[in-house]
Amino acid sequence: MTFDIVTIFPALIEATLAAGIIGRAIERGTLDVKVHDLRDFTTDRHRVVDDVPYGGGPGMVLKADPIFRALDAMEAVRGRPLTVILTSPQGRRFTQADAQRLSEVDHLVLLCGRYEGFDDRVRTRVTEEVSIGDYVLTGGELPALVVLDAVARLVPGVVGDEQSVAEESFSRGLLDFPHYTRPAEIVERRAQAVAQRVLKVPDVLLSGNHAEIRRWRKREALSRTLDRRPDLLDDAVLDEEELKLLQELKGARDGRD
Ligand code: JD8
């Protein structure tokens, strides 16, 4: 899969993409990410990408013309219409379902805004406008990286273990179960503590009983989801065992409150 990212901060994008799973997928050629400096698509001597807003007011607006030139150049290379994603606070909320859907296309353009955003006429070339959440950021680079990360990790071959991607609980609509690694006991030593505590790994995980472990993980994932994100249960895809466990957990909970 290929991503073209247009930004006035190419170094920020490149540094982030060099690390971790995405970085390795780029090295292997499973992913191709081209980062374009918006200033390379200006035509004036000072490479100006922004201007004052019509109607007055504070802040600057990204000019439409460099964006149009960047998109025209990419379209000429690809030889077909582009799928252009714009990240902005005005976008629809970006979800895992969007990541899933976009991972099936073979090329995406991500436009990163700054300042007060783009000249609105840029939107004539935008396929989808998405927001990553309800908080205010200073620009579109971090949102574009979030979208790329969520989409790219669903592309076959990017994450080593295909099975873990398919089974991970968020894509099934649940929160993850708790994870532990060695040692089996940690003696907590805190300067102000009256007594020392021993932090143990749940016995079931050391039991070697894989049917029991699977069931415990299901229960924990459901319990956490019920506690922290009950809204997710409305759309979760649950098997028969999970539905039964959920009824039990809800029953135990009603007994308490
Ligand atoms: C793109 C410019 C900053 C936005 C004036 C300061 C997404 N969830 C999200 N929060 N913020 C963004 C986002 C913010 C951006 C740009 C995305 C380009 N800004 C602007 C409008 C008000 N500021 C985002 N996705």
pLDDT tens for each residue of 190-218: 888 889 999 999 999 999 999 999 999 99
| Predicted confidence pLDDT, tens digits, the chain (257 residues) | 999 999 999 999 999 999 999 999 999 999 999 999 999 999 999 999 999 999 999 999 999 999 999 999 999 999 999 999 999 999 999 999 999 999 999 999 999 999 999 999 999 999 999 999 999 999 999 999 999 999 999 999 999 888 778 767 666 799 999 999 999 999 998 888 889 999 999 999 999 999 999 999 999 999 999 999 999 999 999 999 999 999 999 999 988 76
Q: How far is the CA of 126 from the centre of ligand 1 (A)?
A: 16
Residue nearest ligand 1's atom 19 by CA:
139
- Is the CB–ligand 1 distance for residue 211 below 6 Å? no
- Is the CB–ligand 1 distance for residue 49 below 6 Å? no
Q: How far is the CA of 112 from the centre of ligand 1 (A)?
A: 9
Listed in sequence order, the residues at least 6 apart from 256 whose beta carbon sits closer than 8 Å to its beta carbon are: none
- Is the CB–ligand 1 distance for residue 54 below 6 Å? no
- Is the CB–ligand 1 distance for residue 146 below 6 Å? no
Q: What whole-number distance in Å separates Cα of residue 200 and Cα of residue 175?
A: 22
- Is the CB–ligand 1 distance for residue 10 below 6 Å? no
Q: How far is the CA of 127 from the centre of ligand 1 (A)?
A: 18
Q: Which two tokens stand for residue 14?
A: 């490149």
Given the structure tokens 């004052």, which residue do they identify? Answer: 52
The DSSP call for residue 139 is: -
Question: Which CA distances in Å does 14 have to 17, 37, 153?
Answer: 5, 11, 17
Q: How far is the CA of 15 from the centre of ligand 1 (A)?
A: 21
- One DSSP character per residue, 103-126 reads TTSSEEEEE---TT-B-GGGGGG-
For residue 108, which phi and psi values (nearest 5 degrees)? Answer: -135, 140
- Is the CB–ligand 1 distance for residue 53 below 6 Å? no
**CA torsion angle for 50, 53, 58, 62 (degrees, to 10)?**
-30
Which of 7, 38, 61, 87 should be mutated for ligand 1, with most atoms under 8 A from CB? 87
Atom of ligand 1 nearest to the CA of 91: 25
End-to-end CA distance of the chain, in Å? 50
Residue nearest ligand 1's atom 16 by CA:
139
Atom of ligand 1 nearest to the CA of 59: 5
Atom of ligand 1 nearest to the CA of 130: 25
Residue nearest ligand 1's atom 4 by CA:
116
**CA torsion angle for 48, 49, 51, 54 (degrees, to 10)?**
140
**CA torsion angle for 223, 228, 230, 233 (degrees, to 10)?**
-60
Q: What whole-number distance in Å separates Cα of residue 34 and Cα of residue 7?
A: 11
For residue 146, the model assigns a pLDDT of 98
Q: How far is the CA of 94 from the centre of ligand 1 (A)?
A: 14
- Is the CB–ligand 1 distance for residue 87 below 6 Å? yes
Q: What whole-number distance in Å separates Cα of residue 169 and Cα of residue 188?
A: 30
Q: Which two tokens stand for residue 167?
A: 């089974």
